[in-house]
Structure 1
């Protein structure tokens, strides 16, 4: 059994989708354990044992590569682990594999951090700092442009086959409005986005824990997520 410790964020949904795409079914092959990041669950000692960076998601597979349990944190590493375990969504040939991996790294190093900052300064920051809003909104638009251009030449993000690159990127684009994006400016990317959204496993994945997520409106949750609580020594 695979146990996933998660919350309905883009990084959480990446792994929810991957598990379902790999043929695992929630309740049968994998279980999800909510980690309410607005309430501070990510700082509990039992969670820090498997995710020392106090971030979701984290995975524990009772049947690891050597038949022994393995614990993993970082969503990109988890996607790679599941791809290796199942033989799905990561090509076998070196050329195609590295084409996929570069777009996975593009998500981990660019799409996630930059769109997250755009979302933060546009929606959650207690004061609207014009420089920060413009900086990250413009970077979001640049990244969307890179992806749109890529999809003028390919069916999927890393070529003509669906891969972990698509699975990694898709959840981050679901908040396009909060990132200051107008889909009319990125028609090829919008076609891709709609195509991915219709996949049955994707629909199941983004529904996992979705009813638990609530808007961040209170000061305590803001402090836990963005304030001094985040930086206390563990």
Structure 2
């Protein structure tokens, strides 16, 4: 029996979940895609720092994929993997936009991907560190990162007014922008805010994505 084309090294974190959810979406959208193989990397044991992993990802982080169908080509960084999978396995642009024929929506999608990659992810990640893991209490740092993450949530709140998804015309289309952003906002209660009641548009958006079958399955990976 042949091996699945995509080998995913991941863990159950907001950085890993976008890829497993995306792969589940591709499985459902394209029967010819088949399956993928996921291997959990116990990051608390620093397996991702071992030499064999560094050869795949010099940054020593999850997620990382190996595309067996393309000469074992490896890709790291969540946003880069999302784009790679779309370029090679989503020819009908079900979860992204044609960069030539639909350039404006493609640009819009990239803007929101980068907003999450450079904003929500790092800020919320730092909030988690200082609230949950820091060896000493640093009130300034906790307040700084919690408040900045809430500010970014409010940016999403404004964007999602009368919209279902972050990118695309009209009410938007479920795309890589949502896949990248959703897993972080979903775990808001860990350190940012107990509920999303002050961000009703964001709350509805999270619930909308949580109801997708690929999301349910993808969140179990890692």
TM-score of the superposition, structure 2-length normalised?
A: 0.88
Moved more, 188-197 or 169-178: 169-178
Aligned to 1:106: 115
Kindly state the Cα deviation for residue 106 of structure 1 after the two structures are TM-superposed.
0.4
| 1:125 equivalent in alignment to 2:134 | yes
Checking the alignment, whether the CA contact within 8 Å between 1:16 and 1:208 is kept in structure 2 is: yes
Per-residue Cα deviation, 1:40-67 (whole angstroms, up to 9, x for no partner): 1011111111010000000001122xxx
Q: Hey, which bits of structure 1, 4+ residues long, moved more than 3 A?
A: none
SS of the residue corresponding to residue 12 of structure 2 reads coil
Report the equivalent of 2:15.
11
Question: Which of residues 133, 138, 154 in structure 2 aligns to 1:145?
Answer: 154
**Equivalent position of 2:40 in the other structure:** 34
Residue 200 of structure 2: aligned partner: 187
Contact preservation (8 Å) 2:124, 2:192: no
Question: Could you say which residue in structure 1 is the equivalent of 2:103?
Answer: 94
Q: Which runs of 5+ in 1 are unaligned?
A: 210-234
Q: For each residue in 1:171-205, what CA deviation from the matched residue of structure 2 results, as whole angstroms up to 9, or x when unmatched?
A: 11122112322311100100000000010000000
The Cα RMSD (Å) is 1.3
- Aligned with residue 162 of structure 1, among 174, 194, 197: 174
Residue 77 (structure 2) aligned to one of 46, 65, 74: 74
